[in-house]
Amino acid sequence: MTRYEPVIGLEVHAQLLTETKLFCGCSVAYGAEPNTQLCPTCLGLPGSVPRLNRRAVELAIRVGLALGCEIHRDTAFSRKHYFYPDLASNYQNSQFEPPVIGRGELCIEVDGVERRIGITRAHLEEDAAKNIHGAGGGLYTVVDYNRGGQPLLEIVSEPDLRSAEEAELYLRKLREILIFAGVNDGNLEEGSFRCDANVSIRPVGQEKFGTRVELKNINSFRFVRRAIEFEIARQEAVLASGGALVQETRTWNENVGQTISMREKESAQDYRYFESPELPRIEIDDEMIERARAQLPELPDAIRARFIEELGLTPYDAGVLTSHPGIARYFDAVASGMKADAKLGKRIANFIQSEVLRDTQIAGLDAKFPVTPEALIELLSMVEARTINLNLAKQVFHEMVASGKSAAAIVEEKGLGGGVDEAALEAEVLKVIEKNPSQVEQYRGGKAAVFGFFVGQVMRATRGQADPQLVQALLRKHLDG
Amino acid sequence: MSSLPITREQILRVAELSRIALTEEEIEQYARELTHFVDMLSVLDTIDKDGVPPTVTLTFDPIAQRDDKLEPSLPRDEALAMGPVTSDGGFAVPKILGGEG
């Protein structure tokens, strides 16, 4: 039986984080009432003049730098012609050859092995309007042009991916880079990050690609994976039964768990690209590139490496603390505020992961933390100064979240901290040893478990305020000595 | 001075791409008219263009670029008034089966 190898390439449409559309000053805010964000330009009315949004070009250059891509200095917009109600002017302002961003690559890790996936190109284009099916009493399709004209960057990969898992990893990685670069909010549900997949299979060892199917409109990572897995199996089954594949567009239907044919690719499809006569060429000089480089934030791979090397995190911790740019900035703010080394860095990371993140709310690019980095620095500094121990710090933290008060105010109010210096603690330790002669005998007789009893007694006597490590050291000094 | 005539097949191809149905008379009319257009442009063939780069756009003015600043949009009623049929706050078009383009 023939064994097949999947060949997958991905096209991602990422909405660029501008305030306004690509060629006019209409808002791009999501969720507005239909058809309230439009003007003669984005409606394609005769006589309107498109004016290019500079910011979109800047963000595109930033993506090019983030992905290590070539940046073409002199490119243009071209009209891509097709007739569909989502396109007000019957052409889309897009880019043909050359696109603003050329070749680059993106590294993913598959089962611990690094794979380099080629980026073919990325080009600027305007988004199409949104068709609302089933509206108008089901008699019509209703078109909302709010989305029409929003700036998109279409990022096209080489057909380098070999499994649904690799496709998902590539998408997650790309999304993460775009989010950290500050160019896209990565919201698959709202459609600001959309993916189409080109899937074909070929006998293992064959160089020529098989017949390609385009999977459209897949709006979650889970669906991407399932749609591609389904499609690979479907294509294998067709070939195994002696059938032939047709080049077509299919969509993922989650309800039936299958890809469904939308239309067969018209072999005669012809977009009749030609360069826009009304838009200026995009000319990019060194200064624009250097400015974009200066604005490019630190990317997640570099942040993780720094967290691991300089701040003592495990790869797992580094992953958690870079799961959102806001979390990474928060940890960074606390760590740098406390001038953390590797040991302290790890302790801060532990506290953030076990306490802070439990009460953190993430919504898109926003992260809402229960306390500010400054408030957390104050609290953790008290732990470092041994004013309070870690268990008390956790209680104080919850009090801070509940009351909004500062750590210092809570510690003072409750009479915590500051009370147990080493001499006082040693006195407590001696007192506990004196009061419990039989346990001392047991311990010295080899019953090591009794040690915990002494720790508990001392902690109780100090109302939980003593530093447990110091308690243990003092107990060992007097019990073992 | 005459270039190649626009053929019936070319007219049908363009009509198909434009989703336009044409009658026999229209096919002949367009073939005739477009042939005439091409004839007019063929004057360019008589000029020596060696070393002249194609001029695609006359828009060199940086005013064609803008900062990312909000400008007022049209009131919805005004925008929708331009559509022949509207429904649910949108432009209504014949029902689309299948997906987006």
Sequence-distant (6+) residues with CB within 8 A of A387 are A411, A417, A418
B 30-69: CB under 8 A from A: 56-69
pLDDT for A132: 87
Q: Which amino acid is at A210?
A: G
Distance from CA of A317 to the nearest CA of B (A): 38
Taking only the tens place, the pLDDT of each residue in A186-229 is 999 899 999 999 999 999 999 999 999 999 878 899 999 999 99
Does residue A263 sit in helix, strand or coil?
strand
Q: What is the DSSP letter of B43?
A: G
Distance from CA of A42 to the nearest CA of B (A): 10
Distance from CA of A126 to the nearest CA of B (A): 13
List, as one string, the DSSP characters of A203-236: ETT--S----EEEEEE-SHHHHHHHHHHHHHHHH
Test A136 with B88 for CB contact under 8 angstroms: yes
Taking only the tens place, the pLDDT of each residue in B74-85 is 999 999 999 999
Whether residue B84 lies within 8 A of chain A, CB to CB, comes out as no
Tell me the CATH architecture of domain B1-49.
Answer: Orthogonal Bundle (1.10)
Test B58 with A82 for CB contact under 8 angstroms: no
Q: Which residue in A33, A40, A54 is closest to B89 by CB distance?
A: A33
pLDDT for B100: 43
For residue B59, which residues of chain A lie inside 8 Å, CB to CB? 277-280
Bridge partners of residue A94, in order along the sequence: A78
Whether residue B91 lies within 8 A of chain A, CB to CB, comes out as yes
Distance from CA of B83 to the nearest CA of A (A): 11
Is residue B1 over pLDDT 80? Answer: no
Test B87 with A34 for CB contact under 8 angstroms: no
A397 neighbors A377 (Cβ within 8 angstroms): no
Test B95 with A55 for CB contact under 8 angstroms: no
Ramachandran class of A374: left when φ > 0, alpha when ψ lies in -120 to 50, beta otherwise: alpha
Test A144 with B90 for CB contact under 8 angstroms: yes
Nearest to B19, CA basis, from A129, A45, A141, A87: A87
Test B99 with A34 for CB contact under 8 angstroms: no
B 8-27: CB under 8 A from A: 13, 16-19
* Cα separation values, A332 from A310, A336, B19, Å: 11, 6, 57
Distance from CA of B9 to the nearest CA of A (A): 14
Q: b/e per residue, A278-309, with b = 16+ CB within 10 A? A: bbbebebeeebbeebeeebeebbeebbebbbe
Q: What is the chain A residue with the closest CA to B56?
A: A277
A365 neighbors A185 (Cβ within 8 angstroms): yes
Q: Which two tokens stand for residue A136?
A: 């108008």
* Cα separation values, A34 from A37, A389, A451, Å: 8, 56, 70
Going from N- to C-terminal start, the domains of chain A cover 4-287, 296-413, 422-480
For chain A, helix, strand, coil in percent to 5 are: 40, 20, 40
Rounded CA-CA distance B92/A85 in Å is: 9
Is residue B2 over pLDDT 80? Answer: no
Q: What is the chain B residue with the closest CA to A88?
A: B91
Scan for tokens 């933290």, then name that residue.
A397
Q: What is the chain A residue with the closest CA to B87?
A: A136
Identify the sign of the CA torsion A287, A290, A296, A300: positive
pLDDT for A389: 86
Q: Which two tokens stand for residue A386?
A: 């041994």
Ramachandran class of A177: left when φ > 0, alpha when ψ lies in -120 to 50, beta otherwise: alpha
Taking only the tens place, the pLDDT of each residue in A68-89 is 999 999 999 999 998 888 999 9
Domain A422-480: which CATH class? mainly alpha
pLDDT for A332: 97
Q: What is the ipTM of this complex?
A: 0.81
B6 neighbors B38 (Cβ within 8 angstroms): yes
Regions of chain A with pLDDT less than 70: 136, 264-269, 417-420
B93 neighbors A141 (Cβ within 8 angstroms): yes
Q: Quote the crossing angle between the two packed helices A325-337 and A300-311, to the nearest 10°.
A: 30
For residue A262, which residues of chain B lie inside 8 Å, CB to CB? 98-99
pLDDT for B14: 86
Nearest to A81, CA basis, from A266, A276, A242: A276
Rounded CA-CA distance A20/A1 in Å is: 55
Q: Which two tokens stand for residue A381?
A: 């500094």
Q: Which residue in B67, B73, B98 is closest to A38 by CB distance?
A: B73
Is residue B4 over pLDDT 90? Answer: no
Test A40 with B74 for CB contact under 8 angstroms: yes
Test A251 with B63 for CB contact under 8 angstroms: no
Distance from CA of A264 to the nearest CA of B (A): 11
Distance from CA of A342 to the nearest CA of B (A): 42
Number of A–B residue contacts, CB under 8 Å: 162
Does residue B53 sit in helix, strand or coil?
coil
Q: CA A411: distance to chain centroid?
A: 37
pLDDT for B63: 54
Test A143 with B95 for CB contact under 8 angstroms: no
Scan for tokens 């500079």, then name that residue.
A54
Is residue B99 over pLDDT 60? Answer: no
Phi, psi dihedrals of residue A230, rounded to the nearest 5°? -60, -45
pLDDT for A164: 96
Strands (E), A334-449: 361-363, 366-368
For residue B95, which residues of chain A lie inside 8 Å, CB to CB? 133, 138-141
Test A141 with B64 for CB contact under 8 angstroms: no
Q: Quote the crossing angle between the two packed helices A325-337 and A373-384, to the nearest 10°.
A: 40
For residue A272, which residues of chain B lie inside 8 Å, CB to CB? 17
Test A54 with B88 for CB contact under 8 angstroms: no
Q: Which residue in A133, A142, A275 is closest to B56 by CB distance?
A: A275
Residue A128 CB-density burial (10 A; 0-12 exposed, 13-18 middle, 19+ buried): buried
A45 neighbors B78 (Cβ within 8 angstroms): no
Test B90 with A142 for CB contact under 8 angstroms: yes
Q: What is the DSSP letter of A101?
A: B
Test B17 with A270 for CB contact under 8 angstroms: yes
pLDDT for A133: 83
Rounded CA-CA distance A440/A438 in Å is: 5
Q: Which amino acid is at A178?
A: L
Distance from CA of A96 to the nearest CA of B (A): 14
Does residue A72 sit in helix, strand or coil?
coil
Q: What is the chain A residue with the closest CA to B75?
A: A36
